[in-house]
Amino acid sequence: MSGDLELLGAADLMVADDVAVGDDMDVAGTSTVAFTGVTLDVAQLLTMGLSTSIISGGELTPNADPTKVDISALTGYFVTYDSSQPLGPTNPLLTFLSFPAQIGLTPGFPVTWFLVTALGVLVQQPATPTPTQRRTNLVVGLTASAGGVIVVDQTLPVIPSQVNNQLTDLMESLTPFGTTGNLLSANGVNLTFNKTVGQMFARGFSAVPTFQDPHNSILVAQTPAQFRTITADPTFFGPLASVVDRANYDPNGLGVITPIGGGANTSTNFRIWGFANNTATEQILVQYGQNTYASLTAARDGIGSGLFAVNPNTVGGALLGWISVTRTATDLSNPAQAVFSKASKFATP
């Protein structure tokens, strides 16, 4: 079809093969599509995938008067969808709004949020918009004032584009983390340790073959654990090992493996990282400590404090825990020589 195609009313159009439209197509009635034995309303499906949001404009900018702010003209959609109710002509309901520019607005509060209602009314409020308000209003942004003068004007709309990539942005910023298991313990009267089976969240690592659970990976139990030892230097990977090198550390994270000095009880903290690798023997890295402590207790108490240079290669891993150990230890099961500490979900390395 090379011209316009306009369908009015309830007239049926049945096409047994492909249809190509080379120009505009207007459908005044309901548009449905049958796929794999299910008949679907195209408009309802599209609307359920949208969010109440500004689609253009709506920028907060300073006015020439420092006590006032301007908002550029905007357009946006309001999506009203109640998944607990039957689908119908008004569920979901999509409402379009074109809102004119607002010039010389005086914020009503020290911190003022600006919202636009579906009726085209500009609202100012001091409170951060609630989840309900973000779904029923177009959130423009906020200002902050000091002595009546605006010192912050920040546009903060709901971003409607690239939704999947926005979720990926969040997952990448959180980095992988352990969810269950992965407990560390001594293997016996030696310098090796065990790790229980556990799960970690690592974006996309289990997409193949577990496409229905693509982000949760299993780290196998290891008795004893096999690992590679690392420093803060990203170019160094030690050989596969199972014995903790308790006599050395990486002073100040400079990447130089150095003998630990001091008395017999001088101690350091090794960090244990887990990775969602398919090869079990490549699922654990042990990073040398970068500080020494006068006692095992002081080392344990120093976990998570002070400066620590994280090896950049651990960005794809999750911190599982620490082994605090004396430099002369021979038995990781002896609490006078070693202490195991479990990391929280978002621990400070």
pLDDT of residue 30: 75
pLDDT of residue 12: 58
Backbone angles phi, psi at 341, to 5 degrees: -130, 135
Q: Dihedral sign for Cα 233, 238, 242, 243, please.
A: negative
- Give the whole-angstrom CA distance, residue 166 versus residue 177: 19
Among left, alpha and beta (phi > 0; psi -120 to 50; other), residue 90 is alpha
- Residues forming beta bridges with residue 141, ordered by sequence position: 114, 155
Above pLDDT 70, what percent of the chain?
95
Q: What does the block give as tokens for 302?
A: 């120093």
Domain boundaries, the chain: 55-74+97-155, 171-342
Band of residue 210 on the pLDDT scale cut at 50, 70, 90: confident
pLDDT of residue 231: 97
Band of residue 44 on the pLDDT scale cut at 50, 70, 90: confident
**Radius of gyration of the chain from Cα atoms?**
30
pLDDT of residue 37: 80
Burial grade of 58 (CB within 10 A; 0-12, 13-18, 19 or more): buried
Per-residue pLDDT reduced to its tens digit, 241-287 = 999 999 999 999 999 999 999 999 999 999 999 999 989 999 999 99
Report, as an integer, the average pLDDT of 334-338: 98
Its pTM surpasses 0.95: no
pLDDT of residue 153: 96
- pLDDT higher than 90, residue 25: no
Per-residue pLDDT reduced to its tens digit, 288-333 = 999 999 999 999 999 988 889 999 999 899 999 999 999 999 999 9
